Structure 1
Amino acid sequence: MRLTEQDHAKVTAAVTAAELRTAGEIVTVVARRSDKYNDVAAHAGVLAMLLMLAALSVWPGIAERLHALFYDPWSDAPHDGTLFGIALILSALAFLIGRYALASLPLRIALTPGATKARRVRARALDLFRTSAEKRTAGATGVLIYLSLDEHRAELIADAAIHSKVTPETWGAAMAALIVAVKDDRPGDGLADAVAQVGVVLAEHFPRAGDDRNELPDRLIEL
């Protein structure tokens, strides 16, 4: 999934049109993903290692059979140190297999719990809001619409003046419409629709004044 030049133009035009009726400033940001989820692969490796240790505790004969492959079982009876060494090697191999089984980023994302992805997307959106919109307008009326494509998740974060008057639930319909469009491989349409709906809400609470000026860029920012 990717955004075309037409998508960029459509979203930019939607922001410009929405801001004609409101003092609010809308910033749109799209990222391919919000995290690489490398910790998910590490967790898989740890889980594989623990499962190996559990298997060795239930079937200790595994280590003894491996010992017999390299030593004469009649003259070299395995002792605890050797068996622990075999367990250590098997656990390390299990960790590496589990870790590199999730070398593929799409697989890591697919196996990451939804709650974890939601937290990562939210954290990334907050970071971007602080650098792109927060307290960058005279009336503290900046809004960030953030879309993370690979996670199929979006966040809306509003500046202090807007947050004090508009509850987060108010943005639910706009965000839901955006996600539906993304899943249908229409991110540009979804962002434009979300911007239009957000603009209606902002115009109701923060109508455009005669001396209003454009304080934040209208263009879609793609990371």
Structure 2
Amino acid sequence: MAKLAMTAADHKLVSDAVAAAEMHSAGEIVTIVTPRSDTYHDVSLIWSALVAFLALSALEIAPTFYFSLVERALGLWGHEWTPRGVLGVALTFAALKFGGMYLLMRFTPLGLWLTPSFVRNARVRARALTCFRVGAESRTSGRTGVLIYVSLDEHHAEIIADAAIASKVSPETWGHAMKAMLDPLRAGQIAKGMAAAVGEVGKVLAEHFPRSDDDTNELPDRLIEV
């Protein structure tokens, strides 16, 4: 799992960008960054079960080879295998394969690599929506909140707007903000990328929702780590 190494300077960079963007708009921008959006526990179980099944299939296809390996490992000579013994070896073999694959999936990069991209993207979107509902949706008087959400391990970001903004701004409009994040994020400059996205989002908000004289800051400007 990617490690968040956001410094005080990083937080200030993003917070200052949010404050600057909101100076010209009635919109409220919330920024969230997370190492990973999901544990993918179910995906780990599926792959582990598949590997265990394949291990049993291999044992069925070449039993002589595998049982000879067991005999040599245990120091058995001319051992006569009973049905109970065969079943015990098969269950042990499957359990070891299942457990080994599960550990690899949960605690190494292999797990995310073997998770289909459409699953990763859907989980990031779902987590972003949850964060949006908790931290931005309907929490402004004019329903003008926008969430910029970045999930590092999945290399995926989401921009979600509240009802008033979504009614005037199509999702494709946020493409410029996404593009502004790409190069800095690829270079590991998380704060710089998010600040760039904030600037682009701010331009859209200023165009469609200009700041009024009595506008107040309804949501925090700070970068949130979850």
TM-score, scaled relative to structure 1: 0.88
RMSD: 2.2
Whether 1:209 and 2:212 are equivalent positions in the alignment is yes
**Aligned partners of 1:103, 1:36: CA distance in 2, in Å?**
8
Instruction: Give 1:192's aligned amino acid.
Output: A
**Aligned partners of 2:204, 2:106: CA distance in 1, in Å?**
43
In the TM superposition, what whole-angstrom CA distance separates every residue of 1:133-187 from its partner, at most 9, and x where no partner exists? 0000111111011111222211111101111111111101211221321111111
Which residue of the partner structure matches residue 197 of structure 2?
A: 194
Deviation at 1:50, TM superposition (A): 1.1
Change (3 A) 1:40 1:6: same
Conserved 8 A contact 2:142-2:164: yes
Which residue of the partner structure matches residue 119 of structure 2?
A: 116
Instruction: Give 2:38's aligned amino acid.
Output: D
**Aligned partners of 1:30, 1:103: CA distance in 2, in Å?**
21
**Aligned partners of 2:35, 2:96: CA distance in 1, in Å?**
33
TM-score, scaled relative to structure 2: 0.87
**Aligned partners of 1:139, 1:103: CA distance in 2, in Å?**
43
- The correspondence of residues 81-160 of structure 1 with structure 2, limited to 5 A, is 81-160=84-163
Greater CA deviation, 102-111 or 175-184? 102-111
Greater CA deviation, 133-142 or 39-48? 39-48
1:102 aligned counterpart, secondary structure: helix
Unaligned runs of 5+ residues in structure 1 are none
**Aligned partners of 2:161, 2:197: CA distance in 1, in Å?**
14
Deviation at 1:70, TM superposition (A): 4.5
Conserved 8 A contact 1:63-1:83: no
Unaligned runs of 5+ residues in structure 2 are none
Quick one: percent identity of the two aligned structures? 49
In the TM superposition, what whole-angstrom CA distance separates every residue of 1:23-82 from its partner, at most 9, and x where no partner exists? 111111111221233334333321220111111222232465447965745xx4x45444
Conserved 8 A contact 1:63-1:86: no
Which residue of the partner structure matches residue 28 of structure 2?
A: 25
Aligned length: 220
Deviation at 1:198, TM superposition (A): 0.5
